[in-house]
Structure 1
Amino acid sequence: MSNTFKAAAVQAAPEFMNIDAGVDKAIALIEQAAGQGASIIAFPECWLPGYPWWLWLSCTAHNMKYFQAYHENCIEIGDRHCERLTQAARENNIMVSIGFSERDHGSLYIAQMLIGREGDLLQARRKLKPTHMERTVFGEGDGSDLDVIDCDIARVGQLCCWEHLQPLSKYAMYGMHEQLHIASWPSFSCYPEAYALGAELNNALSQVYAAEGQCYVLAPCGVVSEAMIEMLVENDEQAALISTGGGAAQIFGPDGRPLCTPLGSEEEGLLIADIDIAAIAVSKSFADPVGHYARPDVTRLVLNRQAMTPVADSLTECVVSEDDQAVHHEDDE
């Protein structure tokens, strides 16, 4: 039996560093996607309150002038902005995956929320390792939320940006039998001479993820707007490092094929594709990397799912679990 539904990937500019306006725009896109029959909508990385492009344009000391305003416009789990998003999901009967900058007291994290169609928060996860200059602003996640959620439409997982360049993290997700993956990207207009940061390579990462994991991939992508350029760019040197546009959203099938006609790099809108979960079985029949195509006798992955909190409530939280001990004993043998 086939499980078919429509899925939407967002390509749009954020309301940069304005969380209330950003949530308004997110809700409008949620309503638009639901109106077109989508069962799930996926937003870009750090779309609320916008990816902090200033961290790539100047030195850290200079960029501190942006930090307080950015910090104040980030989301705390369970705050009124979360409540507005969960209410929008419930009222429109649509799942929502949204990339946001999470504020947890004094620290910020690159994060993703997965909201169910009844408005329940199914997952809130943090990027395992911020990339390069991101580490001047954001902290790290841990393995406790590297997970695939069994939802009513599919088994859904989420990763951000260059987490798709991490082979072991990807393999951990494949091992949880993901069916629908959210690959969130911030946009591709920064550092135009850096091929590794461009749309061609990074869309290829999303495409390969679909082919390797034999799953559907929604790859939403942000856009850099004129308003963002006016706020961020102060001189000719910075103007050479970033431009408007950078949108390259796409949806890929479990055989890796693109399912949508791309929008223009500066164009905003939704990409919508039909998803048929039953079609995954055909792709899996050729090469299932965590099933019949695996060689666990040669290579295996150990995944630490324990939350790495800086303060433990008791000594038991600091003790290695029996399962972990068993893994280490097998390695010793």
Structure 2
Amino acid sequence: MAHPTPIHAPLTVAAVQAAPAFLDLEAGIDQSIALIAQAAQGGARLIAFPETWLPGYPFWTWIGTPAWAIMRGFVSRYAAQSLCYDSAAADRLRAAAREHKMYVVMGLSERDGATLYIGQWIIGPDGIDIARRRKLKPTHVERTVFGEGDGSDLAVHDLAIGRLGALCCWEHLQPLSKYAMYAQNEQIHVAAWPSFSIYDPFAHALGAEVNNAASRIYAVEGGCFVIAPCAVVSPQMIALLCDTDDKHQLLHAGGGHAVIYGPDGAPLCAPLAPDQEGLLFAELDFDAISVAKSVADPAGHYARPDVTRLLLNPRRARPVEYFSLPIERPGDDSAHIETTAINPAGIA
């Protein structure tokens, strides 16, 4: 089991509650850079962004048919505006993290080839990538847009600011995935959410009360700090997405409910109004983790591995694995063997 890095000084962090530059990647990068600068001015060393902040959450999956989404151009436009890690747009974010010496946990629609993934990208204060995780299982209709992650995405990273991990949205309702994170002695957790404005008020499970409770119980169960950024649905997004009365009944403006919790589940900052945009700041005192885990450490002294245990496969799952075959030279009775790599794509 990994041991947490000793932390002595309190850490200031920031959570984003704002409306994205919907379906406009370059404008979203501009907005993100401005928020990173604002967080740095507020003394933060880490900033966390909502789920699929770039280029916004595909709410059309919840309010219309797949055919309607295609005909309206949402499908092709979303793919075109999703982020590739090897792009100039991504380099702009790396440069902003480096300029402001900021840890950035970015929520994004990641484009890899022709497939999209719900991603969380952790960039270090030197502008170097720390991790690029994918949501393990997109939720319900999200599966019409996004591919799946794998066990390598359930990872906690040992950094100078502490042991940092991240999950998206209803991954916080998956007990085994949460336990895999707890077992890695997570100290700071980013719980990214898209907005709590869909199907309100008749789908209570999708609302702020239930899902902020999921973030809160994660803090208590894991004995860690939880930074839970949450996006806002803007009136402009409503105008673009809701072209009929029934769609207006399914999606509403607002829905921002960003929070930051301590290891005892206490909120560490005052909330913003659901339609208000801005940053939430909190100072994390790591002594609170020691106090919380002295009472209940779910993968430590409070565990019963003789009764229940978790099996975790942390390997990256690839559609194609390249390997070498032995080849016999013609006419060589000595069965001399040489190997050749089958790797037409040149992948290392």
**For this structure pair, what is the TM-score category when the shorter chain's length is used for normalisation?**
over 0.9
Residue in structure 2 matching 1:3, options 3, 6, 9? 9
Matched, 1:196 2:196: no
Aligned counterpart, 2:49: 43
Check if 1:215 corresponds to 2:224. Answer: yes
Q: How does 1:1-333 map to 2 (within 5 A)?
A: 2-64=8-70, 65-192=73-200, 193-314=202-323
d(CA) in 2 for partners of 1:78 and 1:4? 34
- Amino acid paired to 2:225: Y
After TM superposition, give the deviation of residue 119 of structure 1 in Å.
0.7
Count of residue pairs brought into register by the alignment:
316
Task: Quote the offset at 1:146 in angstroms.
Answer: 1.5
Distance 2:85 2:45 in 1: 23
For the 8 Å contact 1:3–1:153, the answer to whether it is kept is no
Cα distance, 1:77 vs structure 2: 1.4
> Does structure 2 retain, via aligned residues, the 8 Å contact 1:247–1:264?
yes
User: Deviation at 1:180?
Assistant: 0.1
Residues in 1 aligned to 2:167 and 2:14: alpha-carbon distance in whole angstroms: 17
Moved over 3 A (4+): none
Q: Distance in 1 between matches of 2:97 and 2:13?
A: 14
The one-character-per-residue Cα deviations of 1:155-202 (angstroms, maximum 9, x if unpaired) are 000000000000000000000000000000000001011000000000
> Matched residue of 1:125: which SS?
strand
- For 2:226, what is the secondary structure of its paired residue? strand
TM normalised by structure 1 equals 0.93
TM-superposed deviation, 1:271: 0.5
Per the alignment, residue 337 of structure 2 pairs with none
Return the offset for 1:62: 1.2
Structure 2 length-normalised TM = 0.89
Aligned 8 A contact 1:3 1:278 in 2: no
1:312 Cα deviation from its structure 2 partner: 1.3
Where 1:222 maps in the other structure, the secondary structure is coil
Superimposed CA distance per residue, residues 199-251 of structure 1 (whole angstroms, 9 cap, x where no aligned partner)? 00000000000000000000000000011011100000000000100000000
For residue 278 of structure 1, report the CA deviation from its aligned partner. 2.4
Kept in 2: contact 1:127–1:159 (CA 8 A): yes
Separation in 1 of the partners of 2:300 and 2:272? 36
Shift of 1:277: 1.6
The gaps in structure 2 that reach 5 residues or longer are: 1-6, 326-348
Q: In structure 1, give the amino acid aligned to 2:286.
A: I
Kept in 1, the 8 Å contact 2:22–2:56? The answer is yes
Provide Cα deviations, 1:135-164, integer angstroms capped at 9, x if missing partner.
001000001221001111010000000000
Structure with max Cα Rg:
2
- The CA distance in 2 between the partners of 1:32 and 1:92, in whole Å, is 10
Question: Aligned residue for 1:326?
Answer: none
Cα distance in 1 for residues equivalent to 2:291 and 2:187: 13
CA distance in 1, matches of 2:74, 2:92: 26
Q: What is the distance in 1 between the residues matched to 2:288 and 2:76?
A: 48
Residue 78 of structure 1 and its aligned partner are, at CA, apart by: 2.3
Amino acid at match of 1:129: K
Match of 1:102, SS state, is strand
Deviation at 1:2, TM superposition (A): 2.5
Q: Which amino acid aligns with 1:37?
A: G
- Which residue identity lines up with residue 322 of structure 2 in the other structure? D
SS at 2:308 equivalent: coil
Indicate conservation of the 8 Å contact 2:84/2:112, yes or no. Answer: yes
Kindly state the Cα deviation for residue 314 of structure 1 after the two structures are TM-superposed: 2.4
Asked whether the 8 Å contact 2:191–2:227 carries over to 1, the reply is yes
Give the whole-Å Cα distance in 2 for the aligned partners of 1:78 and 1:98.
15
Secondary structure of the structure 1 residue equivalent to 2:109: strand
